[in-house]
A and B are shown apart, each in its own frame.
Chain A
Amino acid sequence: MAEKEFLKVSNVFKAYGTGDSRQEVLRGMDFAVTQGEFCVLLGPSGSGKSTLLNIIGGIDSADDGYIAINGDKLKDMDEKALTRYRRKHLGYVFQLYNLIPNLTVKENIEVGAFLSDKPLDIDELLKTLGLYEHRHKLPNQLSGGQQQRTSIGRAIVKNPDILLCDEPTGALDYNTSKEILKLIEEVNQKYGNTVIMVTHNEAIQHMADHTIKLRDGRVRKNIINENKISAEELDW
């Protein structure tokens, strides 16, 4: 695992609404993530974890403070630069897959590959994802787990520096969730991407290199996990 500080979150504030309806979501968030690290943002609903993920993903912005990737501050980037940043460095996985319904599994993954100059080999990735046999199926012919695997495939096919996962197992049952976590772990190990995963499932922190516990928009604990276990060993 690389030791280099890759992602820096520095004193980030974020609020929504104005006046009486103003709600502070992030209240001075501070932490750093090294390259290739599997980082879990853990916290209950309303702790600000998804907001933070969106700011890291460049689809939302901080009111104060900054986020830097390899020293490049996102707040200094205009919209085009942010799009380039997302295109070059980020892969996104959502709770509800968001697959394109009239494209096949392979084509959905190609949607991600299209964004990269050097995408991963799609057939090999399909095999890694266990979707090779299903590559010509449309999303509505797949189970939830298969759809999420497709969504992960779409995110990592461009071999992003950071894989952002927003509650990737939130809509899945236990076994399927474990399958997905194993897959993310495998991807992290195989391709060396930095993974930042938002979850409220405390069990998942045990498979992470780095856990940041959030509450009320603040970092409550910043834990480097010296004894992480594999996804296979997880139980909840």
Chain B
Amino acid sequence: MRNPLKRRIPRILKTDWKKYLVLFGLLAIMIGSISGMYVANGSMERAASEAFEKYNIEDGHFELKHEAAEGLLNAYRDRGIRIVPQYYKDLSEDHDRDGSEDSVLRIFQMRDDMNRASLMEGAFPESADEIVIDRMHAANCGIACGDVISIGGKSVKVCGLVAFSDYSALYKDNSDMMFDALTFDIGAMTADGFEALEAESVWQYAYQFDDRPVTDAQKKEKSDELVEKLAVLALTGGVLDDADEAQAKKDDLEARGEALEAEGDELQAQADALEAEGEELQRKADRLEEDAADLTENIVGALVAAGVPVSAETAGAGEGELEIPEELLALIPADMRTKMRDLKEQGEELEKQGEDLEERGESLKLAGDELQERADALEAEADALVNKELENELTDYVPEYANQAIHFAVEDFGTDKAMSEVMGNIMVIVIAFIFAITQNNTITNEAAVIGTLRASGYTRGELLLHYLSLPVLVTLLAAAIGNVLGYTCLKEAVVDMYYNSYSLPTYETHWNADAFMRTTLIPIVIILFINFVVIHTKLKISPLKFLRHDLSRGKKKHALKLPEVSFLQRFRMRIFLQNLAGYGVLFAGIFFVMIMLCFSVGMPVTLRDYQDHASEYVVAPFQYILTDTEDEDGVAVSTSAPGAERFCINSMKTAGGVHEGEDITVYGYCADSAYFRLPYELAEGKAYISSPYSEKFGIGTGDSITLKDKYTDKRYDFEVAGIYALPGSMAVLVPDYEFNRIFDLDEGSFSGFLCAEKITDIEEDRIAACITVDDALKMANQLDHSIGSYMTYFVYVCFILAMLIIYLLTKLIIEQNAGNISMVKVLGYTDGEIAGLYVLLTSVVVVISAAITAFLSYMAVVEIWKAMLVRMNGYIIFNMHPQQFVQIILTVIAAYILVAFVDLLRIRRIPLTDALKNVE
């Protein structure tokens, strides 16, 4: 026989249909929303996952400073990767052709190997004046197929709208805080069309591993391994791929160069010595020559004086000529002859020394030749190591697993699912408690019946099952309807939301077992568990106590002593204490609504604040990063722009913490900086961090942080010296001298200029990047666009939700007190007095709950916000002004006021006979 108690269930539902309809509606919509979220996410995740194969998505890409020579590409390919060039050009897009730039359009050649596009509308380009662009950007900017837009001053026809498989979220740069589908666009043209564009190409190459990694860990390991090889290969022109090996070679070359230099110095010293000796000989020879000339002159003079006929030729001798005819020698005095003999001997000696000098000169020359030969060999070796012709530089590297443009949307699905599930589960818990209180009240009202049934032999389990069946049945029905809604209209709403934010390929709806579990099984388990605990506890009371209507557990407690206030006040206090559980759930329900209200009211304010104050949040209105800070003559680049000051900048990644691999900008500031008001003296190894970095990672003064080089394994440890208020940046700040020390740069090195105005006296091609307020606004603008518009509607949804939850809970409280209310009516209390007791008390509870939960929910939302932004680069601090607190409190109170009118009517309708009936 079927348990006849089951027949009560439809009747209870019919009798109290308003309450159960509200509960059913809340559950169905909540389950439908989560189901829609899961089904849409699951289907789109599957589409995104299939896209890897369908559109052959890269394993990563890198950019080089110059176009890679074939040798370098071959060297890359030899390292186990397949490379496809995907050069692009960034041009200005003027879609309304009013002459001003609307967006930046990144144009690729049509890619038919890796990273193919999914055509959503129209056709792929066939001629040079046709282009396909991103579907979502087109939707955001009102560009339709067939429209003509201007790119870099050239008119082209939009022949199709596509979803680029490697740009599901339009990140211009992977380190951007947020994607930007408003002012950034992706397009593709034919090869001819691309060639005809007047802009510099960016030399980007997509790659896939020959042996493709499967898991994320494998992807990370292989990518980390590859990046260093790519960088070293680029620098060595494809000769070496190992940084250590390259360093060892460099060290060896340097050592050998130094040895060569020492040898050269030695040779030089020897040559100098020889030269000095030569000079000395020269001086001696001169003196000898002078002596010879004097001697000749004396001889000739003597001959002349002796009356020897001397020819004019002989008389002219004397310039060192020592050869005197034999016939004349006899005429020369003896002492003269001796002198001449000495002179001859000295001459012979001199000649000997000259020969010796020549010989040493010869050997010096030989040593010099040898040195030259060795230097030539060294140069050849160095040339082999650094092939100037092939030399290049890795300027960007983004492995697929870290590519936000590919992964952000899919990760966002996950976060949305998690958030909706958390909110959904909170809602289910609130509803579970509403059910539990309802059943608790029913049990109280049916105490005598339960006592009789228990006395007749009904087990506690049978009754437990009976009282559990209603909440479970309503939940099951809500789950069924919710799932139908989830697979149909609510799924479409979620999909529309994603298509409004991301450029995703087409998808097909798939059955989602996860959705079923989370939207059906988990709510039922939650409802079952909470109701089981409450009902089971209640039914533990003995049958006799049920029969006696004595549902207090354990020994009777003494009445709580109340303060000496007026009777009505004490009466209210008693009612409050008696209904503590009900008011507790009312508080929880208001808290739940408040969280949603806080989010929907606070988020637009946070974004608006950020947008309004963005200029204060950036380091400087203009940050110029130069390609080279010295000109061709080695003179440091300078500017005459007022207020411009040098600064150093480097981009690093976090190693550890809440978000591994978060981009962190390291700034080096100059003395007396106008842009960084920080002490210039800082101990080695210490650094300041920006306030968002501190808040997001929960880091304080004295903590240690570790940053990692983007492309190598180099790590840098810092001790936090203080927190610097810089709301727009995830940054580490050190004085410039410390910056140069940390990064092993020359003293006085810098990266560019900070300036309050646009710098006009530095050549364009010397500027690598200029960061302005607009860059800081990207994240806020995109969040505003993606979610901001929903928030207004969400406030209304919260208002209705607040009304429904308060309606349910106050209804329960009044029902629980119906007997007492009837009794005071019998005693002669007017409806107004009764309202003063019950409605006023509830009003006070609602107002106090609203005030308390406004602050509690703000704290909760700050934490939720943190969790939400953890996976994004950058951070915006959640903010609410006093007027927003007032707004959310008033919203709940307004919702309650409407419910209070219903409560007043409900109290008025309680018949006097209720009190008499309950006397049984």
Report whether A90 and B455 are in contact in the complex, using a CB–CB cutoff of 8 Å.
yes
State whether A96 and B920 are in contact (beta carbons under 8 Å apart), knowing that A110-B1, A111-B5 are contacts in the complex: yes
Report whether A59 and B11 are in contact in the complex, using a CB–CB cutoff of 8 Å.
no
Report whether A102 and B4 are in contact in the complex, using a CB–CB cutoff of 8 Å.
no
Report whether A110 and B4 are in contact in the complex, using a CB–CB cutoff of 8 Å.
yes
State whether A99 and B449 are in contact (beta carbons under 8 Å apart), knowing that A59-B547, A94-B547, A154-B456 are contacts in the complex: yes
Report whether B8 and A86 are in contact in the complex, using a CB–CB cutoff of 8 Å.
no
Report whether A98 and B1 are in contact in the complex, using a CB–CB cutoff of 8 Å.
no
Report whether B542 and A115 are in contact in the complex, using a CB–CB cutoff of 8 Å.
no
Shortest CB–CB separation between residue A139 and chain B, in angstroms? 10
B543: interface (CB < 8 Å): yes
Report whether A59 and B1 are in contact in the complex, using a CB–CB cutoff of 8 Å.
no
Secondary structure type dominating chain B contacts: helix
Report whether B455 and A86 are in contact in the complex, using a CB–CB cutoff of 8 Å.
yes
State whether A111 and B4 are in contact (beta carbons under 8 Å apart), knowing that A59-B543, A96-B448 are contacts in the complex: yes
Closest to A18 in B: B555
Report whether B544 and A59 are in contact in the complex, using a CB–CB cutoff of 8 Å.
yes
Interface residues of B in 818-840 (CB under 8 A from A): none
Shortest CB–CB separation between residue B363 and chain A, in angstroms? 118
Report whether B1 and A107 are in contact in the complex, using a CB–CB cutoff of 8 Å.
no
Report whether A86 and B457 are in contact in the complex, using a CB–CB cutoff of 8 Å.
yes
State whether A107 and B4 are in contact (beta carbons under 8 Å apart), knowing that A59-B542, A96-B920 are contacts in the complex: yes
- Say which size band chain B's interface belongs to: 20 to 34
Interface residues of A in 123-155 (CB under 8 A from B): 154-155
Report whether A114 and B543 are in contact in the complex, using a CB–CB cutoff of 8 Å.
no
Q: In the complex, A119→B451 CA distance in Å?
A: 21
Shortest CB–CB separation between residue B29 and chain A, in angstroms? 29
What residues on A are CB-neighbors of B568 within 8 Å? none
Report whether A98 and B448 are in contact in the complex, using a CB–CB cutoff of 8 Å.
yes
B12: interface (CB < 8 Å): yes
B881: interface (CB < 8 Å): no
B15: interface (CB < 8 Å): yes
Report whether A54 and B544 are in contact in the complex, using a CB–CB cutoff of 8 Å.
yes
Task: Please pick, from B12, B458, B459, the residue contacting A102 in the complex, using a CB distance under 8 A.
Answer: B12
Report whether B4 and A90 are in contact in the complex, using a CB–CB cutoff of 8 Å.
no
Report whether A100 and B456 are in contact in the complex, using a CB–CB cutoff of 8 Å.
no
B452: interface (CB < 8 Å): yes
What residues on A are CB-neighbors of B448 within 8 Å? 94, 96, 98
A103: interface (CB < 8 Å): yes
Report whether A90 and B456 are in contact in the complex, using a CB–CB cutoff of 8 Å.
yes
Interface residues of B in 439-460 (CB under 8 A from A): 446, 448-449, 451-460
Q: In the complex, A17→B888 CA distance in Å?
A: 52
Q: In the complex, A59→B2 CA distance in Å?
A: 26
What residues on B are CB-neighbors of A98 within 8 Å? 448-449, 451-452, 547
Closest to B1 in A: A114
Task: Please pick, from A88, A96, A103, the residue contacting B457 in the complex, using a CB distance under 8 A.
Answer: A88
Q: In the complex, A115→B452 CA distance in Å?
A: 13
Report whether A100 and B457 are in contact in the complex, using a CB–CB cutoff of 8 Å.
no
Q: In the complex, A85→B455 CA distance in Å?
A: 10
Q: In the complex, A91→B12 CA distance in Å?
A: 27
A41: interface (CB < 8 Å): no
Q: In the complex, A96→B448 CA distance in Å?
A: 9
Shortest CB–CB separation between residue B841 and chain A, in angstroms? 29
A112: interface (CB < 8 Å): yes
Report whether A103 and B7 are in contact in the complex, using a CB–CB cutoff of 8 Å.
yes
Q: In the complex, A176→B542 CA distance in Å?
A: 32
Report whether B455 and A92 are in contact in the complex, using a CB–CB cutoff of 8 Å.
yes
Closest to B458 in A: A115
Shortest CB–CB separation between residue A41 and chain B, in angstroms? 16
Report whether A111 and B455 are in contact in the complex, using a CB–CB cutoff of 8 Å.
no
B3: interface (CB < 8 Å): yes
Report whether A83 and B457 are in contact in the complex, using a CB–CB cutoff of 8 Å.
yes
What residues on A are CB-neighbors of B459 within 8 Å? 80, 83, 87
Shortest CB–CB separation between residue A105 and chain B, in angstroms? 12
Q: In the complex, A114→B457 CA distance in Å?
A: 10
Task: Please pick, from A60, A92, A99, the residue contacting B456 in the complex, using a CB distance under 8 A.
Answer: A92
Report whether A103 and B12 are in contact in the complex, using a CB–CB cutoff of 8 Å.
no
A113: interface (CB < 8 Å): yes
Q: Which of B8, B446, B542, B543 counts the most A-chain CB atoms under 10 A from its CB?
A: B543
A192: interface (CB < 8 Å): no
State whether A92 and B452 are in contact (beta carbons under 8 Å apart), knowing that A107-B4, A114-B4 are contacts in the complex: yes
Shortest CB–CB separation between residue B732 and chain A, in angstroms? 68
A57: interface (CB < 8 Å): yes
State whether A102 and B15 are in contact (beta carbons under 8 Å apart), knowing that A110-B4, A111-B5 are contacts in the complex: yes
Shortest CB–CB separation between residue A230 and chain B, in angstroms? 28
Task: Please pick, from A80, A83, A100, A119, the residue contacting B449 in the complex, using a CB distance under 8 A.
Answer: A100
Interface residues of B in 1-42 (CB under 8 A from A): 1-5, 7-8, 11-12, 15
What residues on B are CB-neighbors of A83 within 8 Å? 454, 457-460
Report whether A155 and B456 are in contact in the complex, using a CB–CB cutoff of 8 Å.
yes
Q: In the complex, A90→B460 CA distance in Å?
A: 17
Report whether A60 and B8 are in contact in the complex, using a CB–CB cutoff of 8 Å.
no
Report whether B456 and A91 are in contact in the complex, using a CB–CB cutoff of 8 Å.
yes
Closest to B7 in A: A107
Interface residues of A in 42-65 (CB under 8 A from B): 54, 57, 59-60
Shortest CB–CB separation between residue B114 and chain A, in angstroms? 69
What residues on B are CB-neighbors of A80 within 8 Å? 459
What residues on A are CB-neighbors of B455 within 8 Å? 57, 59, 86, 90, 92
Interface residues of B in 868-920 (CB under 8 A from A): 920
What residues on B are CB-neighbors of A96 within 8 Å? 448, 920
Interface residues of B in 411-456 (CB under 8 A from A): 446, 448-449, 451-456
Shortest CB–CB separation between residue A56 and chain B, in angstroms? 11
Q: Which of B449, B456, B458 counts the most A-chain CB atoms under 10 A from its CB?
A: B456
Closest to B543 in A: A59
Q: In the complex, A111→B463 CA distance in Å?
A: 12
- Contact flags (1/0) for A150-190 with B, using CB distance below 8 Å? 00001100100000000000000000000000000000000
Shortest CB–CB separation between residue A23 and chain B, in angstroms? 15
Q: In the complex, A91→B457 CA distance in Å?
A: 9
Shortest CB–CB separation between residue B352 and chain A, in angstroms? 134
Q: In the complex, A59→B652 CA distance in Å?
A: 75
Shortest CB–CB separation between residue B561 and chain A, in angstroms? 20
State whether A111 and B457 are in contact (beta carbons under 8 Å apart), knowing that A59-B542, A103-B4, A103-B7 are contacts in the complex: no
Closest to B447 in A: A98
Shortest CB–CB separation between residue B721 and chain A, in angstroms? 69
Q: In the complex, A108→B547 CA distance in Å?
A: 18
What residues on A are CB-neighbors of B4 within 8 Å? 103, 107-108, 110-111, 113-114
Q: In the complex, A113→B458 CA distance in Å?
A: 11
Shortest CB–CB separation between residue B206 and chain A, in angstroms? 71
Shortest CB–CB separation between residue A187 and chain B, in angstroms? 16
Report whether B8 and A113 are in contact in the complex, using a CB–CB cutoff of 8 Å.
no
What residues on B are CB-neighbors of A119 within 8 Å? 1
Closest to A93 in B: B452
Q: In the complex, A114→B465 CA distance in Å?
A: 15
What residues on B are CB-neighbors of A91 within 8 Å? 456
Report whether B11 and A102 are in contact in the complex, using a CB–CB cutoff of 8 Å.
yes
Q: Which of B3, B15, B453, B457 counts the most A-chain CB atoms under 10 A from its CB?
A: B457
What residues on A are CB-neighbors of B920 within 8 Å? 96
Apart from A86-B455, A113-B4, list 11 A-B contacts with CB within 8 A: A59-B455, A60-B544, A83-B458, A83-B459, A86-B457, A87-B458, A90-B457, A102-B11, A107-B7, A110-B4, A155-B456
The 10 closest A-B CB pairs, nearest first, are A87-B457, A110-B4, A98-B452, A86-B457, A59-B543, A102-B11, A98-B448, A92-B455, A96-B920, A59-B544
20 A-B contacts, Cβ less than 8 Å apart?
A59-B454, A59-B547, A83-B460, A86-B456, A87-B458, A90-B455, A96-B920, A98-B451, A98-B452, A98-B547, A102-B12, A102-B15, A103-B8, A111-B5, A111-B453, A114-B1, A114-B4, A114-B5, A119-B1, A155-B456
